[in-house]
Chains A and B, each alone.
Chain A
Amino acid sequence: MEIEKGKTFKYLKEKREVSQQAKDQLKEFNRMKKSILEALKEGELTIIALSEKLNMPEPEVVYYLMSLVKYGFVATGEVDDMDEYFTYKIKQ
């Protein structure tokens, strides 16, 4: 196969199959990203509130939310009066 610079992924795609685990991970991340960003559209939320709204375990919300902060989709808001929980909002 002729290898075109900038499109070498096609070469590896011919030789190697993408694992089901990699496909599932991508699907799960996209699902979580969509759910979290959708929930935050209505306003800032804490992790506890997000977890209740999405009916998802809190540790999972922490992991995906913090990943979305890292990737620049979400920004950290203010901490509550007890200095315990931060809110999170969609990054403008």
Chain B
Amino acid sequence: MNGPSNQLNFDALVVGGGIAGGEAALNLASTGYKVLLVEKELSIGGKMIMLSKVFPTLDCAACITTPKVSEISRHPNITIFTSSEISSINKIAENNFEATVVRQPRYVVIEDCTACQLCEQACPVSVPDQYQYNLVGRKAAFIPFSIASPKAAAIDIENCVLCGACEKVCPTNCIDFTQEVETFQVNAKTVILATGFKLFDPLMIPRYGFGLYKNVITSMQMERELAPTRPFNTVLRPGDGKVPDKIAYVLCTGSRDATIGNPICSQICCMYSIKQAQLLMGALPMADVTIYYINIRSFGKGFDEFYQQAKGMGVNFVKGKIGKISEQGNGNLTLRYEDINEGIVKEADHDMVILSVGVLPNQDASDFFGQDELQLDPYNFIHQTDVLASPALTSIKGVFVAGTASGPMDIPDSILSAGSASSEAISYLIQE
């Protein structure tokens, strides 16, 4: 049952604990405002915290994200709700929003957990690890990933067999199966939406064979294979554990493709594929890496130099559109493609294919609002009412958008966008 402690007051409600939401929350909190940061996952950090390195500097993503996430977690003006989702937000008046937040039970008292992982070792259950994109298993009692924040265990209740093994070994008795779903009524003076994006599901393009051919993987799966906290000891084919030596990238998988309903450019798949190709050449010096592309869009600062660097390292770039991928008996893959420069259909064999998946809108935020309609753009990202002069403004005064919730963008642009949203929110709060 919910008591008065479930009535909460904040200056700002930030929805989404990825890099944009975290940055916006930090800016507001450092200015003296009290912020509630709501994240649906078990950890803040969003997709960036799962990356290996970032382009075009090849800096370690975790090395950038971890201090930021730590700062957010420790900031006295920021309250973080993980495993939590917004069920509604109503604008009562200017500087007066009422939100309902639902928090799912973690079955672990975060403050008491020392992240000793004894519960993980004791848990007999093994299920696919969503944080390793199902390449390997994890326990039902688990710490989401090594740099998770909060770094505390959680119980996957859907897969837990309630054997009690985790509780028996827990030295601090922090596991608590009596926890229940909690509902909070939150009053906030402003709202920032940083709900991020969704990755395209390549199952929607059956001719690429994803799901059917085990050596066709997504770029996020390769990202995990390249990360220091990778699922395997090195880069391996999930089909048979072979070290691949002829790797292909298929760019624009699920972007710039009206046939699957996403005609826009992901803005990131060229550059992250070029990044991964460079990392692969470091990890597997004997490997051949080929990138099949429609156009290389290296538009940002240092991006073209990064592209030229990949060419210089020996990455093979083929201007070609993939028609079909088929599997040979040994798990190798044949790519049938149109060579755009020569205008003919060709075939090439590779032993692993990475689908560089595109960016889709996360439409969750449009369901939050009742009487005040949050407008979406033609591609279902949050509509920016003044995209040139005030890009953080939405169709609801006092509600601002940060990061990829407004459209595809890379990490530096997401952080800039978060700065814009927090500045607009502060201006709105000052007008109170």
Contacts and interface: CB of A to CB of B under 8 A. Distances in A.
Interface string A15-57: 0101101110110011000000000000000111001000000
Main secondary structure, interface of A, reads helix
A4 B125 CA distance: 24
A81 interface: no
B46 to A, nearest CB: 24
B86 to A, nearest CB: 26
Given A9-B162, A13-B162, A70-B136, A3 B124 contact: no
A26 to B, nearest CB: 5
A24 to B, nearest CB: 10
A30 to B, nearest CB: 7
A17 to B, nearest CB: 9
Interface string A70-87: 111000100100011110
Given A26-B124, A59-B239, A62-B240, A5 B173 contact: yes
Contact of A85 (B137, B231, B241): B241
Contact of A6 (B161, B173, B238): B173
B119 to A, nearest CB: 12
Contacts of A12: 157, 162, 177-178
Contacts of A72: 121
B259 interface: no
Contact of B159 (A25, A48, A51, A71): A25
Given A11-B177, A76-B233, A48 B240 contact: yes
Interface in B150-168: 157-164, 166-168
A6 B170 contact: yes
A70 B137 contact: yes
Contacts of B164: 7, 9-10
Interface of A: 3, 5-13, 16, 18-19, 21-23, 25-26, 29-30, 46-48, 51, 58-59, 61-67, 69-72, 76, 79, 83-86
4 cross-chain pairs, A with B, having the tightest CB-CB distances, nearest first: A67-B137, A47-B241, A12-B177, A9-B164
9 contacts: A9-B177, A22-B160, A22-B161, A25-B159, A26-B124, A26-B161, A76-B233, A84-B242, A86-B234
